[in-house]
Chain A
Amino acid sequence: NAGVMQNPRHLVRRRGQEARLRCSPMKGHSHVYWYRQLPEEGLKFMVYLQKENIIDESGMPKERFSAEFPKEGPSILRIQQVVRGDSAAYFCASSDFLPGEYTEAFFGQGTRLTVV
């Protein structure tokens, strides 16, 4: 059972380009969470998705950022018209969360986005 897989591991984009980050959750997990980590800081929650639904996007910037988790395929975090401030490590986690039960989220290795 492979862990959470993120790709690419490293991504370089020029200002104004689009960045697409992919996350394949662990087998059987239907809940995906995206986090952003700026240099020297902890991870900050961005968005929580279930299959085909956005459950909580309270941490997502209002513009240029979007996320999806289609019925088939990986979850995608999309950043349009990237700026230098978007440079960060983006982590994805997945879980099999069931309301009222204790769960553990498993993290991928992250995608390091550098905007030049």
Chain B
Amino acid sequence: SQQGEEDPQALSIQEGENATMNCSYKTSINNLQWYRQNSGRGLVHLILIRSNEREKHSGRLRVTLDTSKKSSSLLITASRAADTASYFCATETNAGKSTFGDGTTLTVKP
């Protein structure tokens, strides 16, 4: 398996429910970032969490980082149909480059 694996691969929920996506990685990191991508579009940066941080919030988004377990989670509260997209985690190491997982495809049904 590769650095930065998201779980689950696909998630389908009703509008108003919360969505939780997980990301696991293998090596030590400087930071971890979550991105969103609508079908056929570019990346939208959501949140950056540094290796010395445990939790960050941004609006309806909450990201946690557990460096001992080498895992992160992205929680979207009170989901909306417009949240339907693919969500990627990317880990950045000292090399400066980011390693992406294959993403979680979220579908929010109205």
Contacts and interface: CB of A to CB of B under 8 A. Distances in A.
Interface size class of A (residues with CB under 8 A): 20 to 34
A75 interface: no
Contacts of B98: 33, 35, 43, 45, 93, 105
B3 to A, nearest CB: 10
Given A42-B4, A42-B102, A110-B42, A56 B95 contact: yes
Interface size class of B (residues with CB under 8 A): 20 to 34
Interface in B69-106: 88, 90, 92, 94-103
A40 B97 CA distance: 21
A109 B4 CA distance: 21
A48 B55 CA distance: 29
Nearest to B51: A102
B31 interface: yes
A69 interface: no
A108 interface: yes
A56 B48 CA distance: 23
A48 B88 contact: no
A10 B24 CA distance: 33
A102 B31 contact: yes
Interface string B29-50: 0110101000011110100101
17 contacts: A31-B96, A33-B96, A33-B98, A40-B102, A42-B101, A43-B88, A43-B98, A44-B100, A45-B98, A48-B95, A48-B97, A56-B95, A91-B42, A103-B92, A104-B31, A105-B96, A107-B43
Given A31-B96, A55-B96, A56-B95, 5 more contacts: A33-B96, A91-B42, A102-B50, A103-B30, A109-B41
Interface of B: 4, 30-31, 33, 35, 40-43, 45, 48, 50, 88, 90, 92, 94-103
Interface of A: 31, 33, 35, 40-45, 48, 55-56, 91, 93, 95, 97, 99, 102-110, 112
